[in-house]
Structure 1
Amino acid sequence: MKNNILIIEDHELTRFGLKTAFEDVEFIGTIYEADSAEKGLELFENNDIQLIIMDLGLPNMNGIDATKKIRAINKDAKIVILTSHNDEKEVINSIKAGANAYCSKEINPQRLVNVVQSVLDGAAWFDPSISHIVLKAATTTQSYEVSPKKSDYNLTARESQILKLITEGYSNTDIANELLVSINTTKAHVASILQKLEVDDRLQAALKAIKNKIV
């Protein structure tokens, strides 16, 4: 299935680089571009777009406010924040606005493609450098019973290894490549981890693992 994406970025050179990174990707269909949040919102409302790559430092309306408006239009849209700043307030506000991923502009292009694929598959992804900020934001709205023993969750050695990689921001493809296993094997392990931790997605699993010192 092809997924249409929208790149909202006011710097033309950066926007060109992002478009180039996704042009020959198998699961990407049409690539829309906008140099402002206002133009991006207009494109989003008038086209079938599954995922938005959003810069935060946009002129006039910023990326956080644009994320909120996109969420109001379509709660199922996927939004990847791409920024040169790891400011705590921006990170927390992005999460609260409904971002599915938060990436540094220094991210490797292929890694960004993997992040987008993971987000389209329903995962959340946040740059490992801001994991402590994500945890702080999440613990204001979520509570987990603290239990530092791995054995309490009956994780296998392999599942513990994969869970650690999840907390470091690895996608399923990254994990498969790192551990030299198939993508289907990786997905099966991740599904088992989510079930054992009693969480709904990878982000919740990572947060629970960090907070409860499982990894």
Structure 2
Amino acid sequence: MGDPVQTTRNSKPRVLVVDDHPMVREGIRSMLAGELDAWAEAGTGQEALQRLLDLKPDLVLLDVQLPDMDGLTVLQRIKTLSPTTSVLIVTMHDNPGYVQQAVKLGAAGYVLKGISRRELLAAVRAVCEGEAVIEPSLLKRLLGEVTAESGSRTASGDTPEPLTRVEREVLVRLTQGLTNREIAEQLRWSHGTVKKYVQRILEKLQVSDRTQAAVEAVRRGLVG
């Protein structure tokens, strides 16, 4: 079963699901059954923004393809209207460019439709705990593009403040798309210890989220 889904306030989350297909919304609702404090759904961007004001959700699960508005525009408006609301993109679009743009606009995560209930719960749980989650296959492709763009540039491996050996071990796992819980399981650490190391890495790399940390790691040649 795993741990229950909880927000940083240690309560079940209020969730808004935005997708133009009723069957998709119902499927997600079924997968998250028993894990939510409140639930709302919307089939258009405009409806989503109204539901946002009504429900004041902790989390929005958002498709990027909607009939009336571009999903990334909806994301931007959500973050403007409710900065503390986390947004997890759930979509069929597997273009790494969408991932980069979504993260820049404030998305806390990006996963593909068709993931299992266990994977969706893990992503929702991580985002509700303040983490960022990117589908590992998408993150791998994104980092591959970064590597190609870097081309023949020499990677110095330098950061304003050098990473320790242990921090590099954690950074490698960030580039693999692992959540804090998964890293904690691999290294046999507490969840809190992993969070502290991730925060140190973000500070040393001078970035604000895990995806940027992974990109910087590849650009600077910090991981093999």
TM-score range normalised by the length of the shorter chain: 0.7 to 0.9
Alignment correspondent of 2:205: 197
Q: Summarize deviations over 1:30-89 as a string: whole Å, max 9, x none.
A: 121122222211110122211100011222223122112212212232111111121245
Alignment correspondent of 1:9: 19
Alignment correspondent of 1:38: 46
The TM-score with structure 2 as length reference comes to: 0.77
Cα contact 2:40–2:55 (8 A) shared by 1: no
Aligned length: 205
User: Which structure 2 residue ranges, 5 or more long, are not aligned?
Assistant: 1-9, 147-154
Q: Find the aligned partners of 2:211 and 2:88 in 1 and give their Cα distance.
A: 14
Cα contact 2:143–2:214 (8 A) shared by 1: no
Cα contact 2:108–2:127 (8 A) shared by 1: yes
Alignment correspondent of 1:18: 28
Cα contact 1:167–1:206 (8 A) shared by 2: yes
User: Which structure 1 residue ranges, 5 or more long, are not aligned?
Assistant: 138-145
Q: Per the alignment, in what secondary structure is the counterpart of residue 37 of structure 2?
A: strand
Structure 1 residue 95 and structure 2 residue 103: aligned? yes
Q: 1:133 aligns with which of 130, 142, 149?
A: 142
Against the structure 1 CA distance between its residues 188 and 19, is the aligned structure 2 distance closer, same or farther, given a 3 Å change threshold? same
Q: Find the aligned partners of 1:42 and 1:136 in 2 and give their Cα distance.
A: 37
- Superposed, 1:30-109 pairs within 5 Å as 30-109=38-117
Cα contact 2:163–2:201 (8 A) shared by 1: no
Against the structure 1 CA distance between its residues 149 and 66, is the aligned structure 2 distance closer, same or farther, given a 3 Å change threshold? closer
Percent pairwise identity: 28
Indicate the RMSD between aligned Cα atoms, in angstroms.
Answer: 2.8
Q: Find the aligned partners of 2:89 and 2:143 in 1 and give their Cα distance.
A: 14
Against the structure 1 CA distance between its residues 194 and 92, is the aligned structure 2 distance closer, same or farther, given a 3 Å change threshold? closer
- Superposed, 1:153-192 pairs within 5 Å as 153-156=162-165, 158-192=166-200
Structure 1 runs of 4+ off > 6 angstroms?
Answer: 134-137
Cα contact 2:174–2:214 (8 A) shared by 1: yes
Query: C-alpha displacement at 1:172, in angstroms?
Result: 0.8
Cα contact 1:8–1:34 (8 A) shared by 2: yes
Alignment correspondent of 1:143: none
Q: Find the aligned partners of 2:33 and 2:105 in 1 and give their Cα distance.
A: 28
Cα contact 2:143–2:218 (8 A) shared by 1: no
Aligned residue identity for 1:148 = G
Q: Summarize deviations over 1:112-153 as a string: whole Å, max 9, x none.
A: 22222322333322223333537979xxxxxxxx53269x72
Q: Which moved more, 1:188-197 or 1:37-46?
A: 188-197
- Superposed, 1:144-159 pairs within 5 Å as 147-148=156-157, 153-156=162-165, 158-159=166-167
